[in-house]
Amino acid sequence: MNVIDRRLNPKGKSLANRQRFLRRARAQIVKAVRDASGSRSIQDIANGEKISIPMDGLREPSFHRAAKGGIRDYVVPGNKDFVVGDRIKKPDEDGGEGGGSEGSPDGEGQDDFAFVLSRDEFLDIFLDDLELPDLVKKKMKQTESTTPMRAGYSVTGSPANLNIVRTMRNSLSRRIALKRPKPEELAALEAEIKRLEETGEDPERLSLLRVEFDHLASKIRRVPYIDPLDVRYSRFEHVPKPVTQAVMFCLMDVSGSMTEHMKDLSKRFFMLLYLFLSRRYRHVDVVFIRHTHEAEEVDEETFFYSTESGGTVVSTALVEMRKVIDERYPPADWNIYCAQASDGDNTSADNAKTASLLETSILPLCQYFAYVEVGAEYKDWLGRDSDLWRTYKEFARAGGNFAMRRVRVRSQIFPVFRDLFSKERKDNAAWEAGGEAP
C-alpha cells in the first residue's frame, strides 16, 4: 500500500474549467453583475459577489423521460397498513411527496444558477468595457527597479555565473582537436614499460616505449584539461522594469452644506475610481484634498469623516492640487487623474478664478478630470444650475479631458461611472442627461 500526501499539490486544478465556464456564461454574468452592482455597496464588491444567472446556454440536456404520464410501478419501503387493492390519492401536482416521487428525475427546471464570483473576477467583468481616456502618457519610470535578464554568454564574469556546460563543451572539443592523450593510454603504456623492465625481455621495444611515453607525457602537459580559453560565463543584462503609475486627486467640498448623504455618494465615486485605476496601473497614489474657504491635503480618515465649517471657495482646492503636483508628481512621470465632488456651491466671486485656474494650470496636466455634483436625495433638480455647474459647463462643452455628471442617489453612482468611462464614450454633449444616465 502507498499513502501519498496530495495536500500540497498545486491548487486551482479546476481553474481552467472555471475560466471556460465564465467565458461561456459571459453575457449572463455581465448582466447579473451590472444588476447586482446597482444595489450593492462597494464593500460588497471588494468581497466578491454571489450572483445568479439564468440557465440559458448552461444547460446540459440529455434524453430522459418526462416526470409524468404512462404506466409506472414503484416499490417503496415502510408499508404501515396498506393491503392489496387499496387506492392512494396521487400526490399534489406541485410538490410531489410520498409514494410517487421517485419517478424519473425532472429536468433541470427554470431555476437560476447561483454561484460566487471572486473579487477579481467580479471587478474584471464589472470594469470590463471601461477604458481610460487618452492614455498617451504611459510613462516609464526608470528608477523603480531593474530585473536581470539572460543575455547570452561572455568570456568574463564572476565565478558564480560560470556556465559549466558551455565551458566543458569548449574544453572537450579543444582536447579532441589537439589530440590530447587520454590518461588511460598513458597508464597502459606505463604498465607495459614496467612489465618489460621487470622481465628484462625485448629491450628494443622498451626504449621505443620510453620515447613514446615521454612524448605523450609532455603533450598532456602542454594541452591542459581546461584552458582559460574554454571558460564561459552566463551573461545577464539589467533591464528596467516598466512601471506605469498614476496619481489620483480626490477633491471634495466639506463645507457645512455637504450632508452625510452627499459625502457618502462622493466616497463611493472615489472608491470606484480608485478600484478602476488600480486595475489599470501597477501603482496608484491617492491624494485627498478637502476644502472649505481654504484647502488642505489630508489623510483618508480625515477626508471622509471630519467635518469643517466655513464658506466655499473652490479655487483654493485647485491651487492646493497644483502645489502638490509641482512638489511631488511631475507630470512627465505620472498620469494624473482628478475627481472632484461637490454640491455645486461656490462663492460667486470665485467662479471666474476657478475657471481660469482650471483651464490654465490643471486641465493641461491632467489625463482626465471628472466632476461629480452630488445632490440631496429628494431635491428637485429642475431649479437653476449651481454656481460650479455653470462655471464648469464651458469645459465640458469643449470636449476633451473633462467630464461632469450629477448624482443624487446611490444607485446612480455605477451608471454614471460607467457612463464616464465606457469605451465608446459618448460625445460630451450628452452630459446634459446628467444624473439620469442609463
Partner 1 sequence: MTETPLFTGADWDFEKIQRVYDAVEQIAKAELGLVTYPNQIEVITAEQMLDAYSSIGMPLMYKHWSFGKHFARDETLYRKGMRGLAYEIVINSSPCISYIMEENSMAMQTLVIAHAAFGHNHFFKNNGLFKQWTDAKGILDYMEFAKGYVAHCEERYGHQAVEKVLDAAHALMSHGVHKYPRKRTPDLREEEKRAAERYAYQEKMFNDLWRTVPKPASTQQGSKELADRKRQLGLPEENILYFLEKMAPKLAPWQRELIRIVRKIAQYFYPQKQTKMMNEGCATFVHYTILTRLHEMGLLTDGAMLEILHSHSSVVFQPDFDDRRYSGLNPYALGFNMMSDIRRMCESPTDEDREWFPHFAGNNDPYGTLRQAWADYRDESFILQYLSPALIRKMKLFKIHDEAEAPDMAVTAIHNERGYREVRKALARSYDVAHLEPDIQIVDVDLAGDRRLIVHHLVESGMLLNEVEAVRVLRHIANLWGYEVRLLEIDPATDRVLKTYDDVAPITAL
Choice from 28, 92, 107, 190 touching partner 1 (CB under 8 A): 107
Q: Which is nearer to partner 1, 102 or 214 (CB)?
A: 102
Question: Nearest CA to 270 among 425, 387, 390, 374?
Answer: 374
**Grid cell in block for residue 416:** 454614471
Residue 27 CB neighbours (<10 A): 11
Query: What interhelical angle do 119-126 and 26-39 show, nearest 10?
Result: 90
> What is the number of residues in the chain?
438
Determine if 118 is a binding residue for partner 1 (CB under 8 A): no
Binding segment for partner 1 (CB under 8 A), chosen from 62-70, 212-220, 382-390, 424-432, is 62-70
Closer to partner 1 at the Cβ: 24 or 195? 24
Joined together, the cell numbers standing for residue 65 give 423521460
Q: Which stretch binds partner 1 (CB under 8 A): 76-84, 156-164, 324-332, 399-407?
A: 76-84
Residue 378 is a binding residue for partner 1 (CB under 8 A)? no
33-41, 67-75, 198-206, 358-366 -> range binding partner 1 (CB under 8 A): 67-75
Residue pair 245/141 in contact (Cβ under 8 Å)? The answer is: yes
Q: What is the smallest separation between the CB atom of 127 and partner 1, expressed in angstroms?
A: 21
Size of the site for partner 1 (CB under 8 A): 66
Integer angstrom CA distances of residue 398 from 90, 392, 401: 74, 10, 9
Tell me how far, at minimum, the Cβ of 19 lies from partner 1, in Å: 7
Cα distance between residue 187 and residue 168, in whole Å: 24
User: Which of 58/208 has CB closer to partner 1?
Assistant: 58
Query: 245, 239, 257: which is closest to 308 by C-alpha?
Result: 257
Q: Does 87 sit near partner 1 (CB under 8 A)?
A: yes
Q: Find the binder of partner 1 among 46, 116, 162, 376 (CB under 8 A).
A: 116
Residue reference for cell 563543451: 169
Q: What is the Cα–Cα distance from 76 to 102, expressed in whole angstroms?
A: 9
Q: CA dihedral in degrees (146, 148, 153, 157; nearest 10)?
A: 80
Position 179 contacts partner 1 (CB under 8 A): no
Does 95 participate in binding partner 1 (rule CB under 8 A)? no
Cell of 62: 440529455
The reply on whether position 213 binds partner 1 by CB under 8 A is no
Q: Which of 113, 236 has the CB closer to partner 1? A: 113
Distance CA 133, CA 420 (A): 9
Residue 67 in contact with partner 1, rule: CB under 8 A: yes
Q: Which of 43, 75, 378, 382 binds partner 1 (CB under 8 A)?
A: 75
| Contact flag: residue 56 with partner 1 (CB under 8 A) | no
Range in contact with partner 1 (rule: CB under 8 A) among 92-100, 154-162, 197-205, 361-369: 92-100
Q: Which one, of 402, 291, 255, 399, lies nearest residue 338 by Cα?
A: 402
Residue 411's contacts (CB-CB under 8 Å, 6 or more residues apart) are 38, 39
Of these, 85, 152, 200, 438, which contacts partner 1 (CB under 8 A)?
85
Of 8 and 160, the one with the shorter C-beta distance to partner 1 is 8
For residue 332, state whether it binds partner 1 (rule: CB under 8 A): no
Q: Is 125 helix (H, G, I), strand (E, B) or coil?
A: helix
Contacts to partner 1 by CB under 8 A: 1-7, 9, 11, 13-14, 16-24, 50, 58-80, 82-90, 97-102, 104, 106-107, 113-116
